[in-house]
Amino acid sequence: MNFELHNLRILVTGATSGIGLDIAHALAELGADLVLFGRDRDKLAELETSLGARIQALDITDSAAVAEAFCAMPPLDGLVNCAGISILDDVLDVKAEDLERILATNVTASAVVTREAARNMIEHGRPGSIVNVSSQAAMAALPGHLGYCASKAAMDAMTRVLCLELGPKGIRVNSVNPTVTLTPMAERAWSDPAKREPMLDAIPLGRFATPREVSLPVAFLLSPAASMISGACLPIDGGFTSH
């Protein structure tokens, strides 16, 4: 068994920014043949050149566009569901339309992409691996995160159902559950010490994650080295959810 991804074709959603962008780079470094979904056409064009990736600009909440994208999809060996949004509000201020947007992207769209990817793998007889990028918010209550916590808990539940249904087809399904991950956006969002320090105090390792500390566990779960791992929800949180 090895940790390399040579000759494996892997689709990554949300690949043009944040964790998804780092996952794309990490998988490319490990030899994967990439298919990238995202909304930033300029960034996708750059990744097409720099990583040799096959690209598709689309909004994954448009199920018709997703289905069309899969019409010409080559055989897949893996999928990373990384596209997601977060809208934060205290529960007394939460808006129905914001909850609908969060669930539409983080849950429904991920389920539709997974459906199409699984059909592709089964049609081509490819045993595959699917990794859902969830969050510590699926495992612990976070103030102001009602919609986000609910959506990521739903993603973990989806992981378990997919594991049960797709396992007999040779397809493994797992989640990773990161803590705050220092993408450029997160660095700005957590720059205020009054916000940052209480969260750091709750993480036994005393620091936030780097994007690569999320990307490499994702790569491991996609790889042959994880061939007997399915249905797992893996905290990448420095111990945050241990208490």
The neighbouring-strand residues paired with 157 are none
Q: Where are the beta strands (DSSP E) in 31-117?
A: 33-38, 54-57, 78-81
Kindly state the tokens that stand for 176. Answer: 């990773």
- The DSSP letter of residue 89 is B
Q: Among 155, 147, 151, 85, which residue's Cα sits nearest to residue 114?
A: 155
**Catalytic residue chosen out of the listed positions 43, 95, 148, 195:** 148
**Catalytic residue chosen out of the listed positions 95, 152, 169, 195:** 152
- The DSSP letter of residue 198 is H
Is 95 catalytic? The answer is no
Residue 112 to residue 197: CA distance in whole angstroms: 38
Which residues, at least 6 apart from 161, have a Cβ–Cβ distance to it below 8 Å? none
Is 152 catalytic? The answer is yes
Kindly state the tokens that stand for 109. Answer: 């769209």
Separation of CA 154 from chain center:
13
Residue pointed to by tokens 């566990």 = 217
Residue 139 to residue 150: CA distance in whole angstroms: 10
**Active centre residues (catalytic):** 148, 152
